[in-house]
Amino acid sequence: MKKSLKLVLFNSTLVIGLMASVLSVVQVPVQGKSKETSYLIAYKKDLPDDFEEQIEEAGGKVGTVVEEIGIVSATSDDPDFFDNVAAFKDVLSAEEELEILLDEEEPEAADGQMITDVPQPDWDDPDQTYHDLQWDVKRITNDFASHEISKGDSGTVVGIIDTGMDFDHPDLRNNADEEGSKTFVPGTDDAWDENGHGTHVAGSIAGDGKVLGIGPKLTVRAYRVFGATGGAQQSWITDALVAAANDKVDVVNMSLGGWRWMAHNYGEKGESASIVAYHRAVQYAVKKGVTVVVAAGNDSRELGNIKDMREYWKETYGLDIKGPSRVVPAQIPGVITVSATNEWSDEKIAFYSNYGNPIDIAAPGGDNGPVYDELYREDPKGDYLDKRDFHYRTISTWPTYLPPYFTSNLKGYAYLHGTSMAAPKVAGIAAVIKSEHPNYSPVQVAALIRKTADDYGKRGQDKYFGAGEANIFNALED
Q: Mind listing the pLDDT tens digit for each residue in 323-375?
A: 777 888 999 999 999 999 999 999 999 999 999 999 999 999 999 999 999 99
Same domain, 168 and 316: yes
- Classify residue 97 by its DSSP letter: P
Say if CB 30 and CB 100 are below 8 A apart: no
Same domain, 53 and 135: no
Please say if the pLDDT value at position 169 is more than 80: yes
Say if CB 43 and CB 34 are below 8 A apart: no
Same domain, 364 and 234: yes
Residue 37, domain CATH: 3.30.70.80
HSE, side-chain direction, 13 A CA sphere, residue 128? 9
Closest to 323 measured CA to CA, from 342, 337, 334, 309: 309
Q: What is the pTM of this model?
A: 0.92
The residue segments making up the domain with residue 46 are 31-96
Please say if the pLDDT value at position 27 is more than 70: no
The last residue of a domain, from among 42, 71, 96:
96
Other C-beta atoms within 10 Å of 149: how many?
15
Report yes or no on 451 lying in a domain. Answer: yes
Residue 209, domain CATH: 3.40.50.200
Same domain, 81 and 210: no
CA distance 237 to 254: 9
CA distance 320 to 136: 39
Same domain, 357 and 414: yes
Same domain, 49 and 187: no
Report yes or no on 263 lying in a domain. Answer: yes
Please say if the pLDDT value at position 10 is more than 60: no
pLDDT tens, position by position, 81-102: 989 998 899 999 898 887 776 6
Please say if the pLDDT value at position 264 is more than 60: no
Domain total of the chain: 2
Say if CB 110 and CB 386 are below 8 A apart: yes
CA 456, chain centre distance (Å): 23
The last residue of a domain, from among 74, 96, 118:
96
Same domain, 84 and 136: no
The predicted structure's pLDDT at residue 6? 27
Report yes or no on 404 lying in a domain. Answer: yes
Same domain, 199 and 305: yes
The predicted structure's pLDDT at residue 35? 76
Report yes or no on 318 lying in a domain. Answer: yes
User: What is the number of H-type helices and E-type strands within the chain?
Assistant: 11, 22
Same domain, 160 and 72: no
pLDDT tens, position by position, 413-453: 999 999 999 999 999 999 999 999 999 999 999 999 999 99
Same domain, 89 and 137: no
Report yes or no on 112 lying in a domain. Answer: no
Report yes or no on 186 lying in a domain. Answer: yes
- Classify residue 115 by its DSSP letter: B
Closest to 229 measured CA to CA, from 63, 354, 57, 106: 106
**Maximum average pLDDT range among 3-17, 256-270, 285-299:** 285-299
Residue 235 neighbours by CB under 8 Å, 6+ apart:
40, 63, 64, 66, 71, 72, 73, 97, 277
Residue 9 neighbours by CB under 8 Å, 6+ apart:
none
Three-state DSSP state, 433: helix
DSSP codes, 165-190:
B-TT-TTTTTTB-TTT-EE-STT--S
Please say if the pLDDT value at position 26 is more than 50: no
Least confident of 15-24, 40-49, 137-146: 15-24
Same domain, 70 and 207: no
Report yes or no on 154 lying in a domain. Answer: yes
Report yes or no on 109 lying in a domain. Answer: no
Three-state DSSP state, 443: helix
Residue type, 62: V
The pLDDT mean for the chain works out to 89
Same domain, 85 and 162: no
The last residue of a domain, from among 47, 76, 96:
96
